[in-house]
Structure formats: C-alpha cells, structure tokens
A = this chain, B = another copy of it.
Amino acid sequence: MKSKLIIKLMLFLMALAVPAFAEEAAPAAGPSLGLTISNVWMMVATFLVFIMHLGFASLEAGLTRSKNTVNILFKNTLIPAIGLLTYAWLGFSLMYPGEFNGIFGFAGFGLPFPTVAGALDLAYNEGYTYWTDFLFQGMFAATAATIVSGAVAERIKLNSFLVFSAIFVGLVYPITGSWKWGGGWLDSMGFYDFAGSTLVHSVGGWGALIGAIMLGARKGKYVNGKIKPIPGHSMPLATIGVFLLWLGWFGFNGGSVLSADPALVSLTLVTTCIAAAAGIVGAMITTWIISKKPDLSMVLNGCLAGLVGITAGADQMGLGSSFWIGLIAGGLVVVSVMAIDRLKIDDPVGAISVHLVCGIWGTLAVGLFGAMAGLKQFGIQLLGAGAYGITTAVAATVIFSVVKATMGLRVSEEEEVEGLDLGEHGLEAYPDLALRPAAKSSAL
C-alpha cells in the first residue's frame, strides 16, 4: 500500500475525516467529501495510466519497421486486456494480500472486495474506493508487460509473447510487488520506491533484457560484427507515443500519492515534469556531442528516461534534485543504448536502457538526492534493486525457457524477412502506401 506514504497521508485524511464524521450524524450517511474528491483524482490518474498503453503502442510501432506494425499494435492491444483480466482474477489478490509473511500471500481468486451491508465498504480506504484501487493498480500492472514487448519486437511469436505476458503480469509482477507495496519484507526494511522505478520499470526492464538475449538479434542487425541500424518507420508515431507517456506519468506518479493531497500531488507533478524536461535536454546534449546530429529517437528516450528516473522518489525531491536526476537519466539513456547495442543485445526501442537502466538509477537516486538521501538508504535501495533484479531475471528466464521449449519463441527466418504482419496476421499496416525497398533491405 505504498506504506511509507501513509504517515503523510494520515494528517490529510484526518482533516478530511472531520466533515465525514459530521455527515454520519446526517439521516442517511453517504461517502465523505474527502473520499469523493480523492476518488475523483484517483480515477483521473487511472485514465492517465490507461492512456500510457496507447503511448507504448505508438512508441513501439513508431520505432520499428512497418512490416511488423500490425503485430506490434496487436500485442499492445492485447496486453491491457490480458493484464486487466489476470490482475482481476489473480494479481490484485497476490499483490495486496493484506496481512502476510512478507514474501508470498494470496487473498483469493477474483476480487474479494470489502462490503458493508451488501454495498462496497467506503471506509475501506479514505483515499478511494476498492474499485478505483483495483483499476488504478490494474492499469499499472499491464505496463510491466508492455515494456518487455518493445525489446522483443519484430521477431517474437505472437502466441508465445501472449503466454509470457499473462504469466508475467499475473504472477511475477504482483508477487514481487507485494514485497514493497503490499507491505512485504522490503517495505519493512525501509526500501523506498514511490511509484515504481523498480517495481514496474526495472521489473519490466529485466523481462526485456532476458527476452532480448534469449531471442537474439533481428536478422540484419549485426552483420560481420558491424552494427547496422534499423530505423523505426514513423517518427510522428514515436513522438505521439512519448507525449502520451509523459501525459500518463501525471497519473502514474501523481496517482501514486493515493489521495488528492494538494501539496503532495502537485509537488509530485512538478518534480515529474522537471525531470522529464531535464531528461530531454540531457539526451539532446549527449546525442549532439556524440553523434554531432541531434537524434530525435534518443531525445524521446531521454524524456522517458527522466520520467523513469524520478519515479522512485518523485515525492521526495526538490526542484534541483529533480533536475539533476532527469538530466543524468537523459545522458545515461543515450550512453546505455549505444553500449547495449555494442554488446549485440538488440533492443529495437531502447526499452532496456529506459526502463531497466534508468529504473535502477532512479531507485538509487532516492539514496543520493532529496529528503531520504543517506548512505544507509542508498544501501537499502541497492539491496532492493538487486533483489528485484535477481528474482525477475530468474523468473523471466524460466518462463521464456519453458515457452521456448514448448511453443518456440522466434518466428521463422522467412516470416521475419517477410514481416510478422503477413506471417502472423495476414494483414498489412499501410496497404495503400508504397513501401520503400528500405523496408525490406537496408541497402536503399
């Protein structure tokens, strides 16, 4: 329940409770106004996190080739669907099991929501209703799978990916998530991750890394030891994606306050935006220096890098700290993208650099900047990042291996050359528009 926040919230909720008590004297007591406001805010945050799925779909489609676009859109439409359904059936009860041993707990299948006299218990949580809670958390859950999608794009089999995603969102994300947000062992140790630099982004990022390694590079990416760039097919689509993701982050971070507390939410929004802006500038400077030409795709990654970086401590930072966290994340992502490429790990959209590398950076930054900075906290952050890393990497390896052994992971070479759109879907993304030979060979 993002429990560190609870102390801060207490004060706010107590104040809100005053009119709530007053109302109880009224003939037919309804929800308190404080709950009503916070619930509106949390619903808005939910919508914003929802639209991140369109952001991811657009970004991933934009940064890959048009012959695989239908496949990418298909995956990204299925992910929130599968994510929500498995989270409703399984995930939510795994992630927030209530009292548990700190490592694994389960509150039961379906949504065992608290009721009072046949209706939803509105005293369940002063900040929002159970339904709002579920939906907000459910939208979060699906993002972890989406992150993987980008790194394995253009070569993974559709059904294998869907199976992986269902298990990853249904089991891995919520169980590991319970360690911190569910009040588990890492939470008890003092590990801090405000909105998920580690719990969402690194977790997704580890899945991405393992997936990219196990699949191998796209045909034609590394030829005779040389890196051949495979440019994405639509920069406008990629840009739309990043703006929608930034928009969504208002809800991702702002909603993680879990109430409409004016000071806390608005501070979080400001740190989030400053980090995003600084990430853009950091990436621009870095790419301009390294490549001499400012690379749009890198700047877009830089924006996300700043956002991922600030996510762990968005409520703990001042403006200056947010700026530096974002700026460094922006530089880091550029260097990381190039390094990972040189390691011959093929990540078409830079998901590993954005979500894993900057997710770790953001988690550690909580120990370096802002209200919680300190050597001890830094150690705990390191431990937390490590614990998530090992667990998720192992889990992802196991799932991908089983899927590989049973259904296979990678499409046939012929299908890859021809494009997954025809191979998997029998449909083209742009049937009217002539494609350049470039879409098929790197020569033109």
Residues of A within 8 A of B (CB): 10-16, 18-19, 22-23, 26-31, 33-41, 43-44, 46-48, 50-51, 53-54, 57-58, 61, 65-67, 69-70, 73-74, 76-78, 80-82, 84-85, 88, 110-111, 119-120, 122, 128-132, 134-135, 138, 158, 231-237, 239-240, 242-244, 246-247, 250, 254, 260-263, 265-267, 269-270, 273-274, 276-278, 280-281, 284, 291, 293-297, 299-300, 303, 319-320, 323, 424-436, 438-439
Bound: A436/B46 CA distance, A: 41
Q: Which of B26, B74, B254, B426 contacts A291 (CB 8 A)?
A: B426
Copies in the complex: 3
Query: In the complex, what residue of chain B is closest to A428 when comparing beta carbons?
Result: B231
Dominant secondary structure of chain A at its interface with chain B: helix
**Interchain nearest-CB distance for A146 vs B (Å):** 13
Which of chain B's residues have a CB closer than 8 A to the CB of A47? 48, 247, 250
Contact A236 B44 (CB under 8 A): no
Using A135-B270, A246-B50 as known contacts, say yes or no to A31 and B43 having CB atoms under 8 A apart.
no
Contact B11 A30 (CB under 8 A): yes
Which of chain B's residues have a CB closer than 8 A to the CB of A48? 47
Which of chain B's residues have a CB closer than 8 A to the CB of A135? 266, 269-270, 273
Which of chain B's residues have a CB closer than 8 A to the CB of A294? 74, 158, 424-425
Query: In the complex, what residue of chain B is closest to A433 when comparing beta carbons?
Result: B433
Which of chain B's residues have a CB closer than 8 A to the CB of A18? 19, 22-23, 26
**Interchain nearest-CB distance for A440 vs B (Å):** 9
Q: Which of B36, B244, B269, B432 contacts A37 (CB 8 A)?
A: B36
Q: Which of B57, B158, B239 contacts A77 (CB 8 A)?
A: B239
Using A73-B296, A240-B58 as known contacts, say yes or no to A261 and B31 having CB atoms under 8 A apart.
yes
**Interchain nearest-CB distance for A404 vs B (Å):** 21
Contact B235 A276 (CB under 8 A): no
Bound: A14/B37 CA distance, A: 16
Query: In the complex, what residue of chain B is closest to A48 when comparing beta carbons?
Result: B47
Contact B120 A267 (CB under 8 A): yes
